[in-house]
A and B are shown apart, each in its own frame.
Chain A
Amino acid sequence: MSSIVLRTLLVSGLATMLAVLIGVPAGYLIARKVFRGRTLLLSLVNTGMGMPPVVVGLVVWVLLVRSGPFGDLGLIYTPAAMVLAQFLIATPIVTGFTAASIQSLSPRLPDLLAVLGAGRVRTLALLAREARLGLLVAVMAAFGAIVSEVGASMIVGGNLQRSTRVLTTAIVTETSRGEVERALALGLMLLTLSFCVNLTLTLVQQRARP
């Protein structure tokens, strides 16, 4: 059971980290840059924030299944496929929350930092620091969404006992077997895991509160 908890943490943690790597810069660009199609892109991101995981799972399955365009990679029914699906679910969430938190800052702030002497990297770091409360909300929301999803993990991971079973798919399995007490125990573990991660992030967030 501990391996399921560890796998859950690894898959969802890695997917969240990748989503942060892509979603934070993307959210910044959407918030700050003016370009053709920006509103359409933001609408797509906002739509993506509520995308059903089972649909994402289905799309990833079509792409990675043996007969699919990326079937040769042999990723289907592996933790990597689950990370990919969860990354696709988490990225719009991180992007959307990042864009909102950057847009809440004064639009003159980058100009101020530039004339005070901050270079490009320092400016981005200072803006991220200013928007840190919103950015941590983005991380918490993304992790919360993917650690609790079951549809995508079930479809692309296959719920294989020794390699791709995570807490949510294990709960489904135990329930279907009639092992309700075991399913409840797994549910409690999932809640505890989610609580611990969010407690850590909340402590960081509140310490960062100005």
Chain B
Amino acid sequence: MTDVTLEHVRVAREGRLVLDVPTLTLRGGRTTAILGPNGSGKTTLLRVIAGLESERTMSVSIGGSPVHTRDLAYVFQEDVFLRESVRANLELGLRLRGIASAERHQRIDDAAGVVAIGHLLDRRADRLSGGEGRRVSLARALCLRAPLVLLDEPLAGLDEGTHARLLDELPRIVAAFDATTILVTHSRDEALRIADDLVVLVDGRVRARGEARDVAEHPRVAAVAEVLGYTVLATPAQTVAVPPGAMRLGGGRLEFSMIVDRATNVAGVSEVVGRIAGVVVRVPLTDGDARQNPGDRVTVHATRVYGVE
């Protein structure tokens, strides 16, 4: 499978530049997660690739050829269906692409099997629950058998249990696409569980890209580290990024003074939440740690840090 290349991508809205990507290559046959905070331009980037943003200077290509509708399948952030049956909704894209009737039925049955929606095929698509709707959206993309699949936060807005179940299944569903897949998410965990490659987008610009594990474990820029869930703290010598869960109570080689905001115990997991120079920090508690009260000033240390710019 061939690479997806973007060049000269600039999108402005109401006079503000929301996306500025001079060049970006996404490797063919792999799953790339576009990770970034809300408003960082992730969805806009996906829309550019799909041809839904039409600035004339931009160029998006697959293996050197412009992206055509038949090349892609798109799962939107929210469920969008015709007020018809699930089967009719799955069939629509196949009809529009000129797929013969027998082939359409075969593809729908195959996709329904992969995504486990066989029992929903005759239901009204616009009356499905959130989880069912997500599955049908994924099935609709699956049965198109497109070489490029765009997933815009496919797990957004789901309750915790449904989110967890679908997240467990998503790597298998993505593998079934057998395509170059681009996943937009603001969840580090989703990105790392599903993606081979990672692109971190901050304020409309690509700030990091590469193999997912490599980018996640070696953030070089503070903004990237924050997106990846690190706590970024300034020390007299340099700015450091502390990985999630790497803070401990008590003194150490790299220690900080923290003001306690609250101590929590949710489902047996205790942590103390406080601030270091205005930065919110979460420190897991162990059985031996003393009880902390709001307003206390305590010393904490980081067990691992990375220097960032």
A interface residues, Cβ below 8 angstroms from B: 106, 108-109, 111-118, 122, 126, 130, 210
Contacts and interface: CB of A to CB of B under 8 A. Distances in A.
A111 B152 CA distance: 13
Interface in B21-78: 47, 50-52, 69-70, 72-74, 76, 78
A115 B124 contact: no
B275 interface: no
Contacts of B158: none
Contacts of B92: 116
Contacts of B78: 106, 108
A3 to B, nearest CB: 43
Nearest to B73: A115
Given A117-B97, A118-B96, A210-B124, A112 B70 contact: no
Nearest to A118: B96
A108 B96 contact: no
B96 A116 contact: yes
Contacts of B124: 210
Interface in B78-103: 78, 80, 82-84, 92-93, 96-97
A115 B50 contact: yes
Contacts, number: 44
A210 B84 contact: yes
Interface size band for B: 20 to 34
A111 B52 contact: yes
B83 A108 contact: no
B76 A116 contact: no
28 contacts: A106-B78, A108-B76, A108-B78, A108-B80, A109-B80, A109-B82, A111-B47, A111-B80, A112-B74, A112-B76, A113-B96, A114-B52, A114-B69, A115-B50, A115-B52, A115-B69, A115-B72, A115-B73, A115-B74, A116-B97, A116-B144, A117-B69, A117-B96, A117-B97, A118-B96, A130-B82, A210-B84, A210-B124
B93 A117 contact: yes
Contact of A122 (B76, B80, B96): B96
Contacts of A113: 96
Contacts of A115: 50-52, 69, 72-74
B86 to A, nearest CB: 12
A122 B92 CA distance: 12
B98 to A, nearest CB: 9
Nearest to B69: A117
Contact of B82 (A111, A117, A122, A126): A126
Given A112-B74, A126-B82, 5 more contacts: A108-B76, A111-B47, A112-B80, A116-B92, A116-B144
